[in-house]
A and B are shown apart, each in its own frame.
Chain A
């Protein structure tokens, strides 16, 4: 059994997190094809997947590190960089686009100095353009953390986002 304290240290991963990560790896070690499941659970624990953690998962599951890195960069769910305190997901589905979500995105970018796919310098917001959320009845749609906001407009977004600090 691997022991995290002897092999890796990371400023963003606490002792408790390492224990949870070990449990996830131990549970899935013998399941074929469990890599994506393990990575999802580990990202839920830490918030993102730092390189040291990818290495750790690779050794834990006995998979080459290159393969783990390949999978991590292939799927949009995985993030290799830390996220802001609040994550804004703007839906880039066709219905939202036709109804003018681009204007809202431009306004968010300008107001909070955060580019699409990036995190603002003060770590307040991460802005992600995501694939269709399937809530086209509410288009244009924005999800902040777990809150869904429908029928947004360039004017409304700032009022909504100002409430998240």
Chain B
């Protein structure tokens, strides 16, 4: 095959797929063939690039030019100007929102410049469906070293030195977990990969699986060698079809190359991996529940001990690691635990991938060293809050996490520091909220999620979360009483101390953290019967304030029910009979004039 002079790394992640990547790719392919360029210029569909907000995106290599928001109509200009004449198309560059400056080089874009890639080091650079490209980036070298030159004890020791902690949320030291399973007696042991990414607002595992599936397989095989297991399972959400497809391809290729199956790399070590599709239950992210689910039963947790390292899947010693944790392993083998521990804080080593979303300019995946302040993630990488709105809170750790206010934005991301301010690191979802978000409503939203996903086995979680939800609904509906706040705290304490598994024990966190930092909003709902963010419908009057109304007619234009009457230079009036309380006028009014 001829060596192409240019490679077009087109992002094939879920985000770019849904913004029209396929149509763009097809048009580009046809145009390259028509111009007889397809031998010189090759299109590579990569995994998720991470910068989902400006998709579909494409990186032109070797120049490193980054194009965004591509449409099929852009193809002729790209071919004519860039690929034939060597003049990159400026209007498709990324534009910095603040300075309005166009930036052609990917690594100079602030979103990428502040990041440090370890887990995501191959994203956007390799075709995840071709094993050779992974190997060319030192893939499976860590496995070869672990299998050929290291004993299980040495592997475990190296992971312990690295200081790697579980990236699924709880942060248990990975090396210690492996050590327990290694020491457990038994001929049959299992290695499980938790790819049941369920936290709302977390999508890093999906992206790693889509962009670099071999890294996860390699990590699993090394783990298997460490504990002497011969069978592994990847428990993946069925909502991630692309990730499952890429994993299937990766497993097949690894088998063909003798990297999986019998006698791996001629070392006499055997290991198989199968994919197990989840059926949609949030609680299955909990380790004992996940194991029940693989056994074909209801995914309900059981009390620990015995810990899975002694009695796990089918009552055999089992280790369960998260996708991101496993993707770190190959590089720890290759570069050593000391190298890995070279970045991070005292207690949290290495890097962490965060999924940045919500009311922030640059939505996408962000990998930063542990210890990076939240402010850097939200403002320097995330580019701040859109539409000149004010920052209100950042939600960390999903339904088990908490909301952090502006005053604590300099908190470094570190397992202990985050826990101290009332949230958890969790799987790494970072959701930014602006002034239009009602914090009581947010607590209600999370509690609604939790009580729906509670498996129902233990009473504190099953009944307690439901009762918390009822109180929060009462407050949002304008029927709250001052005593409700005490009840919320008391009930939360009981649930925290008595629930069976991690889901229940952390369920009250969203309530407690919003009460801690945004108590004034609760008080406004209960005492003044007012929702400051104007989100709780029962507390809104649906009236126009004549003093604030600028008579512009915007509300009249956006009302889908034709319930607003307005004429030029007249104050708008809402007809409450016709009003469907859809809040369109609240969003439309720029002067905060609707009460």
The interface of chain A, by Cβ under 8 A from chain B, is 32-37, 39-40, 67, 70-71, 74-78, 92-95, 97-100, 103, 106-107, 110, 130-139, 141, 148-150, 154-155
Contact = CB atoms under 8 A, between A and B. Distances in A.
A29 to B, nearest CB: 13
A94 B363 CA distance: 14
A71 B201 contact: no
Interface in B170-195: none
B279 A154 contact: no
Interface of B: 14-15, 17-19, 52-53, 55, 197-203, 206, 238-240, 276-282, 293-299, 314, 355, 357-359, 363-364, 395, 398, 429, 431, 433, 437, 442, 445-446, 449, 455, 558, 560, 580, 582-584, 587
Which of A77, A100, A131, A137 has most B Cβ within 10 Å? A137
20 contacts: A32-B295, A33-B294, A37-B296, A40-B279, A75-B279, A93-B200, A98-B358, A99-B359, A100-B587, A110-B580, A131-B239, A131-B282, A132-B200, A132-B201, A134-B203, A134-B239, A137-B52, A141-B18, A148-B17, A148-B18
Contacts of A34: 296
10 closest Cβ contacts across the A-B interface?
A137-B52, A134-B203, A136-B357, A148-B18, A75-B279, A33-B296, A76-B280, A93-B200, A35-B296, A95-B357
B200 A92 contact: yes
Contact of B19 (A75, A136, A138): A138
Contacts of A78: 279
Contacts, number: 143
A32 B296 contact: yes
A107 B279 contact: no
A99 B363 CA distance: 13
A77 B437 CA distance: 31
A98 B580 contact: no
Nearest to B360: A95
Given A95-B431, A132-B198, A150-B19, A40 B238 contact: yes
Given A37-B276, A107-B582, A155-B560, 14 more contacts: A32-B314, A37-B296, A71-B297, A74-B281, A77-B280, A92-B449, A97-B445, A98-B437, A107-B560, A132-B199, A136-B355, A137-B15, A138-B15, A138-B19
Contact of A98 (B15, B197, B238, B359): B359
Contacts of B364: 137
Given A74-B281, A134-B239, A136-B363, A33 B358 contact: no
